[in-house]
Amino acid sequence: MNGTTKALLRAAGVVVLGAAAWGGDRLVLGDGVRVETNDAYVSAYSSVVAPKVGGRIDAVMAQDNEQVRKGEVLAHIEDDDFRAALTVAQGDLAATRADIANLQAEFTRQDALIAAARAAVQSDDAQLVFAQQDEARYRNLAAGGAGTTEQRQRTAAQTREATAAKARDEASVQAATQEKDVLAAQIARARGNLTRAEGEEQRAELDLSYCTIPAPVDGVVGARGVRVGNYVNPGSALLAVTPVQDAFVVAHFQETQLTHVLPGQKATVWVDTFPGQPLRAHVDSIPPATGVAFAPIQPDNATGNFTKVVQRLPVRITFDPGQPLAARVRVGMSVEVAVDTASRPEGPKADDPRYAWR
């Protein structure tokens, strides 16, 4: 083998290696216009269903993997105690309303009692005037020797009695007038009790309604751990409802791939479960940080040896509507995603400044 042949072989080897390196780079990073990743999966925001009250489960309507609608009853808690509590609350409310009615009647009647007391004072005035006149008459008679001492003393006593009776009845008028203030205060307190009783009744009604556990959203039942006879506490997870119709893709792109990626650009999704059946999609939004930024224990490269690692960002990809196959996608499925960075951003978030990444 002469020198020329060896030089040609070396050149060919360099070309092959260069082509392989370029192909590998394009395979990982894309061709600069189309960026791809196989580090992606289907996700959705599942709603965990938990009771607001504690008790024994007496019925479970939801079954594993069943599709349910928002508001559909999933399970029911035995409600005998809550119905009894509601009855007691309703009785307390009725009694409080009766107390208010009684006090208001007494308040209205108090005006009549005040008028009667004032009439008694007027009668006392007449009796006092008569007693004073009678006393003066017998005093004059006694001074002229025509009247007896007993008569004079009796009329004087009657005058004092009339004076005392008037003072007593005047005090009754004052007491009856002040009683209105007492009754007004009692009515105000009773109205406060009424507000509390109404709140207790409302709470009892709510507690009773909480025995019926509805679906919070449309979706598919999963992670069902509740069974008839289980005793549940407030906040304990019974099952989850996953809105598979709102499923989306979380695609972990390398940071070097996102140079030209924008919300609203077209994307293609291949689900491993459905090979050869691509789904149309688009970029929904770009995350605020890499995945490791939200890790409970973040790496600290401030000391020691440093090895630079390309970071990945979880980009959200949303399926385009009108694709029956997208309805069969389930959370957790592995997918591959390709984004066309040359496509024009479209959709509601493309021009929304809240999602802009410029």
- Residue 274 banded pLDDT, cuts 50, 70, 90: very high
Full DSSP string of 252-278: EEEGGG-TT--TT-EEEEEETTSTT--
Helix (H) / strand (E) containing 286:
none
CATH number, domain containing residue 192: 1.10.287.620
Across 175-184, 281-290, 330-339, least confident range:
175-184
Closest CA to 219 of 322, 324, 330: 330
Q: Is residue 23 part of a domain?
A: no
Q: Is the pTM of this model over 0.85?
A: no
What burial letters (b/e) apply to 153-180, b meaning 16+ CB within 10 Å? eebbebbeebeebbeebeebbeebeeee
Range picked from 5-14, 59-68, 292-301 for highest mean pLDDT: 59-68
Q: Tell me, yes or no, whether 169 and 316 share the same domain.
A: no
Task: Please give the pLDDT value at position 239.
Answer: 95
Task: Return d(Cα 7, Cα 281) in angstroms, integer.
Answer: 50
Task: Please give the pLDDT value at position 82.
Answer: 95
**Residue 206, token pair as written in the block:** 């709510």
Q: Is residue 289 part of a domain?
A: yes
Token pair 């409302």: residue: 202
Phi, psi torsion values for 35, nearest 5 degrees: -105, 140
User: What is the mean predicted confidence (pLDDT) over 188-195?
Assistant: 93
Name the β-bridge partners of 59: 76
- pLDDT at 292 > cutoff 70: yes
Q: Is residue 10 part of a domain?
A: no
Q: Tell me, yes or no, whether 131 and 151 share the same domain.
A: yes
What pLDDT, in 10s, does the model give residues 94-108? 999 999 999 899 888
- Residue 43 banded pLDDT, cuts 50, 70, 90: very high
What number of other Cβ atoms are within 10 A of residue 26's Cβ?
A: 13
Q: Tell me, yes or no, whether 85 and 203 share the same domain.
A: yes
SS (H, E, C) 199-220: HHHHHHHHHHHCCEEECCCCEE
Q: Tell me, yes or no, whether 326 and 253 share the same domain.
A: yes
- pLDDT at 28 > cutoff 50: no
End-to-end CA distance of the chain: 58
- pLDDT at 131 > cutoff 50: yes
Task: Return d(Cα 35, Cα 251) in angstroms, integer.
Answer: 11
Q: Tell me, yes or no, whether 114 and 149 share the same domain.
A: yes
- pLDDT at 29 > cutoff 70: no
- Which of 209, 225, 251 is at the close of a domain? 209
CATH number, domain containing residue 71: 2.40.50.100
Q: Tell me, yes or no, whether 89 and 166 share the same domain.
A: yes
> Is 281 in a helix, a strand, or coil?
strand
Task: Please give the pLDDT value at position 8.
Answer: 57
Task: Please give the pLDDT value at position 7.
Answer: 59
What pLDDT, in 10s, does the model give residues 50-82? 999 999 999 999 999 999 999 999 999 999 999
User: What is the mean predicted confidence (pLDDT) over 262-269?
Assistant: 94
Task: Return d(Cα 277, Cα 224) in angstroms, integer.
Answer: 32
User: What is the mean predicted confidence (pLDDT) over 148-158?
Assistant: 71
Q: Tell me, yes or no, whether 193 and 269 share the same domain.
A: no
Which positions ≥6 away from 243 have C-beta within 8 Å?
A: 44, 45, 46, 47, 217, 218, 219
Q: Tell me, yes or no, whether 180 and 75 share the same domain.
A: no
Q: Is residue 337 part of a domain?
A: yes
Range of the domain at 329: 32-45+243-296+306-355
Task: Please give the pLDDT value at position 32.
Answer: 57
Count how many domains the chain has: 3
- Residue 278 banded pLDDT, cuts 50, 70, 90: very high
What burial letters (b/e) apply to 225-253, b meaning 16+ CB within 10 Å? ebeeebebeeeeebbbbbbbeebbbbbbb
E-only strand ranges, 2-98: 34-43, 47-49, 55-60, 67-68, 73-77
Q: Tell me, yes or no, whether 224 and 191 share the same domain.
A: no
What pLDDT, in 10s, does the model give residues 303-321? 666 777 888 999 999 999 9
- Which of 162, 185, 209 is at the close of a domain? 209
Task: Return d(Cα 322, Cα 245) in angstroms, integer.
Answer: 12
Q: Tell me, yes or no, whether 216 and 74 share the same domain.
A: yes
Q: Tell me, yes or no, whether 198 and 85 share the same domain.
A: yes
